[in-house]
Structure 1
Amino acid sequence: MDELVDRIRHAADQTGEAHFLELLRWHRVVAGLGEPDWGARGAYRIATAHVGVIALEMIVVPHRVV
């Protein structure tokens, strides 16, 4: 999972923080995940990990509808 989070973090660095956070929020909505408490410790890592888990599930179970 850390490798996936590192890849997501790298993508965030490439696109810029504001754009990445907007994409992250969009993906969380599509995946049915709520808005994280961005002021909480580790919120960014938790938010990206949730999206990473959804992405892995879609790879393993490609017929899953989100």
Structure 2
Amino acid sequence: MKLPKAEHSVPEWQAAMEALILVAENGGPTMLARIGVTRALNRGHVREFTEPGKSIIGGAGS
């Protein structure tokens, strides 16, 4: 896949590409490459958590 030039210099993509190269050339840990690519793909996504004690499943009675 081709990465747009605007994304190419983003630190998350730089780390992901470096990890992929290490795996390809030196047989490095594939899990680190996977984590790097996942972080780069999800860059900018803000995770939202519920307040402690509130349940999402089951509605208001849970």
Normalized against structure 1, the TM-score is what? 0.31
Q: Which of 1 and 2 has higher RCO (CA within 8 Å, sep 6+)? A: 1
Normalized against structure 2, the TM-score is what? 0.32
Q: Which has the higher helix share?
A: 1
